[in-house]
């Protein structure tokens, strides 16, 4: 039986492929678990239409993310923090602080998109990677200075 795979299946194929599988495997496993559709003419046309729409939306999102990344590359942030003895920070600079600084400059970035391995606990200049889309990244300079 020919089916259209809706998800990647290790032994069968990847999502979007039209593959031939055993009748029982398709009827009893793939179709009830919504991992495949029967490859009728109507289903193939419907799937292709949905795939084209999805690709158009993904392409538009990627272009807007690339434009936002180009704007973010020009941004330089300054975080003023209180320090104690030996230039040690009281607290740390977190992704939420960085997102707030970006929002002050007019860039709305979700804090979960800022890739910080651990909070910043020292004065200095840092380059912060921000993942806007799956394959679109931007780098922002952060200056951590004392009050």
End residue of a domain, out of 65, 86, 112: 65
For residues 6 and 45, membership in a common domain is answered with yes
Domains of the chain: total: 2
Q: Which domain holds residue 106?
A: 67-146
End residue of a domain, out of 15, 41, 65: 65
What's the pLDDT tens digit per position in 97-137? 999 999 999 999 999 999 998 889 999 999 999 999 888 99
For residues 59 and 37, membership in a common domain is answered with yes
For residues 81 and 22, membership in a common domain is answered with no
**Contact yes or no for 43/37 (Cβ under 8 A):** yes
The pTM score is 0.70
For residues 52 and 75, membership in a common domain is answered with no
């Amino acid at each position: 039986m020919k089916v259209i795979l809706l998800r990647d299946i290790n032994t069968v194929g990847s999502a979007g492929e039209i593959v031939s599988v055993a009748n029982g495997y398709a009827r009893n496993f793939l179709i009830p678990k919504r991992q495949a559709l029967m490859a009728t003419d109507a289903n193939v046309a419907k799937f292709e239409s949905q795939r084209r729409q999805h690709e158009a939306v993904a392409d538009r999102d990627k272009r807007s993310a690339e434009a936002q990344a180009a704007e973010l590359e020009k941004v330089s942030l300054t975080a003023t923090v209180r320090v104690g003895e030996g230039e040690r920070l009281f607290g740390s600079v977190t992704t939420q602080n960085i997102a707030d600084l970006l929002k002050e400059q007019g860039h709305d970035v979700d804090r979960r998109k800022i890739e910080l391995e651990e909070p910043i606990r020292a004065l200095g200049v840092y380059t912060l990677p921000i993942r806007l889309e799956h394959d679109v990244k931007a780098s922002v300079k952060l200056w951590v200075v004392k009050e």
